[in-house]
Amino acid sequence: MGSIYLIRHGQASFGADDYDVLSPIGIRQAEVLGAHLAQLGLRIDRSVSGDLRRQQHTATAALTQLTRAGLQAPALEIDAAFNEFDADAVIRALLPDLLPEEPEALHVLRNAAQNRAEFQRLFARLIGRWISGEHDKPGLQSWQGFVEQVQGGLLRLLEQAESKQNIAVFTSGGTITALLHLITGVPPAQAFELNWQIVNTSLSCLKFRGNQVSLASFNSHVHLQLLKTPELITYR
């Protein structure tokens, strides 16, 4: 069987003007991941990333550690199917209908870094509306549309894959969530409960034979735990 390693990007710049940039902690997480893979002697036959900067930066920082250890580091391929869904667009489209119930929501979302717990509660409510399919808006990618995007990326991987290949996919939490939904059949709401637990640079492993795919492991972040440095375990 072959293996697809789903790797969530390192910590991004939550609350900054540009979220799509790794923080210093995010860069360190990616380097630790790469060193861990090198220590395992894991052969990576292909590496794929979405086209977001935080995904690509995580990939290059990790793969550089493999090269430094004298291991093969394949050229990074880009497939936008593994991009994250546009969370800002979801918030902009669905927030107006929520404001009568949550009059402080706009203030919280504009000051997310100072209101992390409340931001998460509101974001989860908005995501719940998005995945229900009952609040679709013109111009906003639907949950079903996002799932189909991710499924297309997975099918391309499988069509191009060779038996027993190890493929690293540097992606995002929502993309991993969509794959969990597709592969295990877990309902979207439950899949997003798992989403909130996905650690930056964690590994989830899919096993494949032909077009048959199964989930082998989820959200492993032992490479961070072994350092006994709690600040390296982050979720955004």
Of 130, 160, 157, nearest to 145 by C-alpha is 130
pLDDT > 70: what percent of the chain?
Answer: 98
Per-residue pLDDT, averaged over 162-178, amounts to 96
d(CA 25, CA 206): 27
What number of other Cβ atoms are within 10 A of residue 205's Cβ? 15
**DSSP alpha helices (H): ranges in the chain?**
24-40, 53-68, 87-98, 105-110, 116-132, 143-160, 173-184, 188-195, 222-225
Would you state the pLDDT for residue 115?
87
Q: Poorest-confidence range of 20-34, 44-58, 103-117, 219-233?
A: 103-117
For 59-98, how does the pLDDT look when each residue is reduced to its tens digit (9 = 90+)?
999 999 999 999 989 999 999 999 999 999 999 999 999 9
CA 148 to chain centre: 16
Would you state the pLDDT for residue 96?
95
Q: Which has more pLDDT, 13 or 175?
A: 175
Structure tokens at 93: 């489209």
Of 21, 19, 42, nearest to 203 by C-alpha is 42
Domain with CATH 3.40.50.1240 in the chain: 2-85+164-232
- Judge contact between 200 and 36, C-beta under 8 A: no
pLDDT classification of 18: cutoffs 50, 70, 90? low
Q: Quick check: 15 pLDDT over 60?
A: no
User: For the chain, what is the mean pLDDT?
Assistant: 94
Of 3, 7, 6, nearest to 200 by C-alpha is 7
Structure tokens at 14: 């939550």
Amino acid code (one letter) for 53: R
Per-residue pLDDT, averaged over 189-194, amounts to 95
Per-residue pLDDT, averaged over 115-141, amounts to 94
Would you state the pLDDT for residue 111?
85
- Judge contact between 189 and 100, C-beta under 8 A: no
CATH code for 2-85+164-232? 3.40.50.1240
CA 190 to chain centre: 16
